[in-house]
Chain A
């Protein structure tokens, strides 16, 4: 964790660890702005056993917006105007990156304890 001097990094560290669903939402937005069903599809394609239900999903999206990890994004011209698109903020990007590093460290420690035979 030697990246403390990057912009937003302090805020990012304070947000850790992320709830797995929050992390999934951030990851689903790394490639660009998206909206509800699209986010659900991306997450469930990566993790076929997960089933996201709407109220909880949007409650999380709202909280991520309030925490400044996401921001509203303009709805593309040809899309349904009722869809609210969101995208990662700079901070959100940092937080996702920091969480990924944190998990990576965790896995490395687990491997050192021989919890990952064959890996």
Chain B
């Protein structure tokens, strides 16, 4: 029943006759609506709809009234009000700028945030019937045979496609071009409901080895690399893949097509010989699956069937498919899967920005309230001359409406700017980044926010002002009575503002502390001044592993010879990237009980000098060197986390590891290095093994790492290094040139982005709350000047006066802080997923932010209160 009072206030917008006759019915229907809404979001929606409903009917009735009244009385209509309002706003430019600016900030930030939430969480995916698309068992790598067998095993899935990200090298078109690509099941585009705009889709038989020499291009690549030439269809292109260097281009996708996973520009089929099955197919690189639910099938049914499929696969092949992975097997809606961990954080951001908007509304209401008070005389005269209560309220509503329109227009313009900035600043792995835009739905949200904000901000003062009794006001009595009510209302609004601001600022404070503890983690490497780049010889260019390694030997020799380079080495998986290899490892002293899982340990291959170049200290034993070659005993270096896990308190040096099987030749531990946070600052180090390239001569590409001399800059050295690499082989594309420090720093990019966004909201909330406290105190002081004058004349000290002027605001702030602390402790749990090593109810943040807000509020109140202490009793007493 609490909800009915604000709704009743809202109904005051309606004409008297409609309200008195049907008011009770409307309340009943509204409560029915409200009781049908289950979630808080649903209730909010009912409120918004009800406000629009009342607003629309009020406008309609007002329009009808205006038509009838203007016909009779000329200047009495809305146009006259509008003209009058324009004049009033021009007369007090400072107030107008403050109100319009506050509204614009609130509306602009909330509209911009909504556009992000909409793109990532709400907007349907840009494929046919997107609600039937699911991601299948994302935790597990598949092979192609599993993808094929999936649909037969899970009838709840109509079709499924495997997707495997692939790097292709486009040669023969000028400089070799490294392009992101994907191998997909031939039915991939059909499953998504996308057809090439040029040429054709893959055919089913192109999933057979021998028929798979076909490729589909993105519109972007077609324009970039082929000059948008339609005759590319049917021509062949060299993608430099091992098995089949030449592919026939069969299609070009539409310009607005958005890939499901990653950002590929070339697609080729995932081939599979029909004779291969789960245990015989070796293509274990199918990292993602997208599937379409059969008509009428549910996610739960599909999950059940996929889990049965997983159990079966585990029974056949427990090495590749772990029991722990089977436990989480299932499907999830593709949209949820793509939003990932960011989903809850975005809802938090939207919540925070809504609070900012509410603070802005409270501020505007307060400013208008204070102004309404100073216009008391003007309005009372109007009332005395026969303007009805509705008429006066309408005049004020037109004024706030005008400011609302200006604020809304500016705010929406601001949101365009904010969205553009946000898209530029967002980390590149931000989900659905390309879809973030201010579109009609977002504009509608902006308009709704404007209407709601204007109604909330304008309604309170309008209702107040219209209630003033004309005769009493003219007699000079109404003023103090109604002023007392206004000032109580204003104080309540300030308390609410402080409470809301506290919630938002605590949220940003928590994010700031997370970012702080994340970036203060030692990444384990000294990445500053270390240039990284990845020369990737096209598949097939160097036929054997040895030839591959000989190529990198030459590259490193040239790079080391550069005057700007201090040292250089290579590693196959760079710290700060998400790639990972791990292999079952038999560890000396760690018994494997029959049927238990063999430890799978992260595996990295490096060149001699790697640890020295990137600054990883060797804690025990020795580093890997050139003498650890093919003829020497097999050597391995492990990290501290490995020793802590498998050999705690024991001497690791000289012990043995065997990869894959107990019969393999052992690698002997020659050293222990410090832990490195390979997968980003937020991920704790895990056991790792480092092997030397000379003893693992597989065919794989490496990252070159080069420490630049202290007096040189890595980016100027980049040109020399690039030239040195191309001097070995000009046909090898070079990717990912960067400084190692910035690669590692990028792993905190999402946290940093969220922190910046929430920090911005927090700062805004703080500023608005300060303006609110200042405004209310200043207004209170100006109203009480005669009283202060009397008290000073009667001998009160200046500090007593200042204290008395401060009292109201401090009490309001303190109550607001109390309410805010409770609200914050209930709501920060939603941020938990985004926090790193900070509790959602971190007492330090809560206390610190509360103190900060108290200080800001005190400062904002002190300025006008100080003025109260300077009141000259003579002038003050003459004034009234």
Residues of A within 8 A of B (CB): 35-37, 40-41, 51-59, 61-62, 82-84
Which residues in B have their C-beta under 8 angstroms from that of A55?
11, 14, 26, 50, 53-54, 56-58
Report whether A36 and B57 are in contact in the complex, using a CB–CB cutoff of 8 Å: no
Does B49 sit at the interface, judged by CB under 8 A? Answer: yes
Tell me if A52 and B22 are in contact (CB < 8 A): no
Closest to A52 in B: B29
A59-B49 contact given A37-B28, A54-B25, A54-B29, CB 8 Å threshold: no
B18 near A: Cβ within 8 Å? yes
Instruction: Report the minimal beta-carbon distance from B115 to chain A, rounded to whole angstroms.
Output: 26
| Shortest Cβ distance from residue A22 to the other chain B in the assembled complex, whole angstroms | 15
Q: Are B57 and A83 in contact (CB under 8 A)?
A: no
By a beta-carbon cutoff of 8 Å, the part of chain B in contact with chain A is 11, 14, 18, 21-22, 24-30, 32-33, 49-50, 52-54, 56-58, 60-61
Q: Please determine whether B21 and A62 come into contact, CB atoms closer than 8 angstroms.
A: yes
6 extra A-B contacts, CB within 8 A, seeds A35-B25, A53-B53: A36-B29, A53-B52, A54-B27, A56-B53, A57-B26, A58-B22
Partner of B25, one of A36, A41, A51, A53: A36
Say whether, besides A55-B56, A55-B57, A59-B61, A36 and B26 are in contact (CB < 8 Å): yes
Cα–Cα, bound, A53→B50 (Å): 6
- Name the A residues within 8 Å of B26 (CB-CB): 36, 54-55, 57-58
Q: Which 5 residue pairs spanning A and B have beta carbons closest together? A: A36-B25, A53-B53, A54-B26, A58-B22, A54-B29
- Interface residues of A: mostly helix, strand, loop or mixed? helix
With A and B bound together, what is the CA distance between A116 and B29 in angstroms?
Answer: 36
Task: Please state if A59 and B32 are interface contacts (CB–CB under 8 Å).
Answer: no
B28 near A36 with CB under 8 A, answer yes
Q: How far is the CA of A79 from the CA of B879 in the complex (A)?
A: 59
Q: Contact check, B25 vs A83: say whether CB atoms are below 8 A apart.
A: yes
- Say yes or no: B18 contacts A53, CB within 8 Å: no
Complex: how many Å from CA A59 to CA B14? 10
- State in angstroms the CA–CA spacing of A6 and B28 once bound together: 38
A36–B33 touching, CB < 8 Å: no
Q: Closest approach, in angstroms, between the C-beta of B277 and any C-beta of chain A? A: 46
A83 and B24 alpha carbons, distance in the complex (Å): 7
Question: Tally of A-B residue pairs with Cβ under 8 A?
Answer: 67
Q: Do A59 and B18 contact each other (CB < 8 Å), given the known contacts A53-B49, A53-B50, A53-B53?
A: yes
How far is B18's CA from A35's CA once the two chains are assembled, in angstroms? 15
Task: Please name all residues of chain B whose beta carbon is closer than 8 Å to the beta carbon of A51 when the two chains form the complex.
Answer: 33, 49
Q: Is the pair B56, A84 in contact by a Cβ cutoff of 8 Å?
A: no
Q: What's the nearest-Cβ distance from chain A to residue B239, in Å?
A: 49
Q: Show 10 A/B contacts (Cβ-Cβ < 8 Å), sorted by A.
A: A36-B25, A36-B26, A36-B28, A37-B28, A40-B29, A54-B54, A55-B54, A83-B24, A84-B21, A84-B25
Q: Which residues of B contact A40 (CB under 8 A)?
A: 29, 32
A54, B53: Cβ atoms closer than 8 Å: yes
Q: Give every chain A residue within 8 A of B21 (Cβ-Cβ).
A: 62, 84
Q: Which residues of B contact A58 (CB under 8 A)?
A: 18, 22, 25-26, 29
Q: Distance (Å) between the CB of A72 and the closest chain B CB?
A: 10
Q: Output the least CB separation between A94 and chain B (Å).
A: 25
Query: Is the CB–CB distance between A36 and B53 below 8 Å?
Result: no
Bound: A57/B57 CA distance, A: 10
> How far, in whole Å, are A84 and B28 apart by their CA atoms in the complex?
12
In the complex, A54 Cα to B57 Cα: how many Å? 10
Q: How distant is A18 from chain B, measured CB to nearest CB, in Å? A: 18
CB of B22 within 8 A of CB of A53, answer no
Knowing A55-B53, A59-B18 touch, does A37 contact B32 (C-beta < 8 A)?
yes
- Cα distance A5–B21 when bound, in Å? 36
Identity of the chain B residue whose Cβ is nearest the Cβ of A53 in the assembled complex: B53
- Knowing A35-B25, A36-B25, A37-B32 are in contact, say whether A54-B18 is a contact too (CB < 8 A): no
Using CB atoms, name the residue of chain B closest to A80.
B24
CA distance in complex: A58, B20 (Å):
12
Pick from B22, B32, B54: contact of A61, CB under 8 Å: B22
Interface centre among B14, B24, B49, B50 (most CB of A within 10 A): B24
B33–A59 touching, CB < 8 Å: no
Residue of B nearest to A36 (CB): B25
Interchain CA distance A54-B53 in the complex, whole Å: 7
Nearest chain-A residue to B11 (Cβ)? A55
A61: B residues at CB distance < 8 A: 22
Collect the chain A residues with CB atoms within 8 Å of residue B25's CB.
Answer: 35-37, 54, 58, 83-84
CA distance A57 to B18 in the complex (A): 11
In the complex, the answer to whether B22 meets A56 with C-beta atoms within 8 Å is no
- Closest A residue to B58 by CB, please name it: A55
- Which residues of chain B come closer than 8 Å to A35, judged between CB atoms? 25
User: Cα distance A40–B30 when bound, in Å?
Assistant: 11
CB distance from B218 to the nearest CB of A (A): 40
Q: How far is the CA of A104 from the CA of B60 in the complex (A)?
A: 32
Query: Known contacts A56-B57, A59-B60: does B18 contact A37 (CB below 8 Å)?
Result: no
Nearest A residue to B52 by beta-carbon distance?
A53
Q: Which residues of chain A have C-beta atoms less than 8 A from B11's C-beta? A: 55
Q: What residues on B are CB-neighbors of A52 within 8 Å?
A: 29
Chain A CB within 10 Å, residue with most, of B25, B26, B28, B50: B25
The answer to whether B22 and A62 have CB atoms under 8 Å apart is: yes
What are the residues of chain A within 8 A of B28 when measuring CB–CB? Answer: 36-37, 54, 83
Closest beta carbon of chain A to B805's beta carbon, Å: 43
Nearest CB of A to B672, in Å: 67
Contacts of A56 in B (CB 8 A): 53, 56-57
Docked complex Cα distance between A68 and B29 (Å): 24
B35 → chain A, closest Cβ, in Å? 11
- What distance in Å separates the Cβ of B58 from its nearest Cβ neighbour in chain A? 8
When distances are taken between beta carbons in the complex, the residues of chain A under 8 Å from B60 are: 59
List chain A residues, Cβ under 8 A from B56.
55-56
Looking at B11, B32, B54, the one whose CB has the most chain A CB atoms below 10 A away is B32
CA distance A83 to B29 in the complex (A): 11
**Minimum Cβ distance to chain A for residue B38 (Å):** 14
Chain A residues, CB < 8 A from B49: 51, 53
- Tell me how far the C-beta of B261 lies from the nearest C-beta in chain A, rounded to whole angstroms: 35
Do the beta carbons of B61 and A37 come within 8 Å of each other? no
A55 vs B61: C-alpha distance in the bound complex, in angstroms? 11
B53: A residues at CB distance < 8 A: 53-56
Q: Which residues of A contact B18 (CB under 8 A)?
A: 58-59, 62
Tell me the bound Cα distance from A40 to B32 in angstroms.
Answer: 9
A72's closest neighbor in chain B, by CB? B21
Q: How far is the CA of A54 from the CA of B22 in the complex (A)?
A: 9
Question: B33: which A residues are within 8 A, CB to CB?
Answer: 51, 53-54
In angstroms, Cα B252 to Cα A93, docked, is 62
A25 vs chain B, min Cβ distance (A): 13
Closest approach, in angstroms, between the C-beta of A26 and any C-beta of chain B? 17
B24 touches A37 (CB 8 A): no
Cβ-closest chain A residue relative to B13 = A55
Given A53-B49, A83-B24, A84-B22 in contact, is the A59-B29 Cβ separation under 8 Å? no
Q: Pick from A41, A62, A82: contact of B24, CB below 8 A.
A: A82
Q: Which residues of B contact A37 (CB under 8 A)?
A: 25, 28-29, 32
Complex-state Cα separation, A82 to B28, whole angstroms: 11
A30 CB → nearest B CB, Å: 20
> For residue B32, which residue of chain A has the nearest CB?
A37
Contacts of A84 in B (CB 8 A): 21-22, 24-25
Contact B24 A54 (CB under 8 A): no
Which residues of chain B are within 8 angstroms of A36 by Cβ–Cβ distance?
A: 22, 25-26, 28-29
- Enumerate chain A residues within 8 angstroms of B32, measured Cβ to Cβ: 37, 40-41
State A56–B26 Cα separation when bound (angstroms): 9
B61 cross-chain contacts in A, Cβ below 8 A: 59
CB neighbours of B29 from chain A (8 A): 36-37, 40, 52-54, 57-58
Residue in chain A with minimal CB distance to B7: A54
A45, chain B: closest CB distance, angstroms:
13
Contacts of B50 in A (CB 8 A): 53-55
* Known contacts A40-B29, A54-B30, A59 near B57 by CB under 8 Å: yes
B57 to chain A, nearest CB (A): 4
**In the docked arrangement, what's the CA distance between A40 and B24, Å?**
14
Q: Which residues from chain A contact B30 at a C-beta distance below 8 Å?
A: 54
